[in-house]
């Protein structure tokens, strides 16, 4: 949903204070309402420090709620993990949406504008942290690379968890790097998770130069 709300695009340094303001407001709203937050991280292009940030994505792990601890409230499984995220969004969107202009909750996130920059807030449970981070941190092309490497290990990576394709059960990984090591991805620096984009651009520029050279040669 990048820039779907009509937000502006900023370079990383310009986006930093807006991200910090959004993060402080979101966490304060959740903590003030009785939610406990575990791990947090920027994700998306802002985390990767892409030169141009079309939106600012953040991921927050909810560990406790006014109705009890997340681990006690929700069973563990692909469908259950997904429903847990949707339930948490449903419970908290009235806290997050007022922070932004043009707020809307769709899919697995709350979206809105802050200072005309789109901010996307993703929530997850402890069981879905690794899957959520792995998906939301990478660009589309690098995610396809991760999907193919996971498939070779009979796994599928979803935002709600890593699923064994044969047993249809959630496979537990404590940290993102544990998953990456398991699926034979050596590059764990998330800033490199846009690497295929640059590779594709270089290849396209090379082919364009070759076409121009061929055209000049035929004219001669």
CATH code for position 25:
3.30.460.10
Q: Which residues contact 97 (CB under 8 A, 6 or more apart)?
A: 103, 104, 105, 110, 112
Answer whether residue 85 is part of any domain.
Answer: yes
pLDDT digits (tens, 9 = 90+) for 77-99: 999 999 999 999 999 999 999 99
* Domain, as residue range, for 61: 10-200
| Contact predicate 64/154, CB 8 Å | no
The count of domains in the chain is 1
Answer whether residue 212 is part of any domain.
Answer: no
d(CA 88, CA 3): 24
Res 11 pLDDT > 80: yes
Answer whether residue 27 is part of any domain.
Answer: yes
- DSSP SS3 for 189: coil
pLDDT digits (tens, 9 = 90+) for 140-181: 888 998 999 999 999 999 999 999 999 999 999 999 999 999
Q: Which residue is associated with the tokens 């807030």?
A: 121
d(CA 100, CA 22): 9
At 204 the pLDDT is 61
Answer whether residue 220 is part of any domain.
Answer: no
Answer whether residue 1 is part of any domain.
Answer: no
Res 14 pLDDT > 90: yes
d(CA 114, CA 53): 14
User: Between residues 71 and 203, which one has the greater pLDDT?
Assistant: 71
Answer whether residue 216 is part of any domain.
Answer: no
189-194 long-range Cβ contacts below 8 angstroms, 24+ apart = 190/47, 190/48, 190/137, 190/138, 191/47, 191/48, 191/49, 193/48, 193/137, 193/138, 193/139, 193/142, 194/45, 194/48, 194/50, 194/138, 194/139, 194/141, 194/142
Q: What is the mean pLDDT of the chain?
A: 91
pLDDT digits (tens, 9 = 90+) for 123-136: 999 999 999 999 99
d(CA 108, CA 98): 18
Summarize the confidence of residues 197-205 as an average pLDDT.
64
d(CA 111, CA 109): 6
d(CA 208, CA 197): 17
* 110: phi then psi, degrees, rounded to nearest 5: -100, 130
Answer whether residue 90 is part of any domain.
Answer: yes
* 198: phi then psi, degrees, rounded to nearest 5: -65, -40
Answer whether residue 206 is part of any domain.
Answer: no
pTM, rounded to two decimals: 0.86
* Residue 49: closest CA among 12, 23, 19: 12
């Amino acid at each position: 949903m990048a820039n779907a709300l009509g937000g502006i695009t900023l370079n990383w340094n310009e986006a930093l204070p807006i991200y910090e303001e959004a993060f402080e407001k979101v966490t304060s709203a959740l903590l003030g309402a009785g939610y406990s937050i575990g791990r947090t991280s920027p994700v998306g292009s802002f985390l990767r420090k892409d030169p141009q940030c079309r939106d600012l994505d953040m991921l927050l792990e909810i560990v406790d709620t006014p109705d009890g601890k997340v681990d006690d409230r929700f069973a563990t499984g692909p469908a259950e993990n997904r429903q847990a995220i949707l339930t948490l969004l449903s419970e908290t969107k009235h806290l997050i949406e007022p922070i932004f202009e043009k707020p809307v909750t769709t899919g697995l996130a709350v979206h809105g504008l802050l200072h005309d920059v789109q901010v996307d807030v993703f929530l997850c449970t402890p069981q879905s942290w690794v899957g959520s981070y792995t998906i939301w941190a990478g660009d589309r092309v690098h995610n396809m690379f991760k999907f193919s490497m996971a498939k070779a290990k009979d796994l599928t990576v979803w935002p709600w968890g890593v699923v064994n394709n044969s047993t249809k059960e959630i496979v537990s990984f404590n940290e993102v790097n544990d998953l990456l090591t398991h699926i034979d991805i050596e590059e764990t620096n998330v800033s490199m998770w846009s690497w295929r984009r640059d590779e594709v651009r270089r290849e396209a520029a090379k082919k364009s130069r070759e076409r121009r050279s061929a055209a000049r040669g035929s004219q001669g």
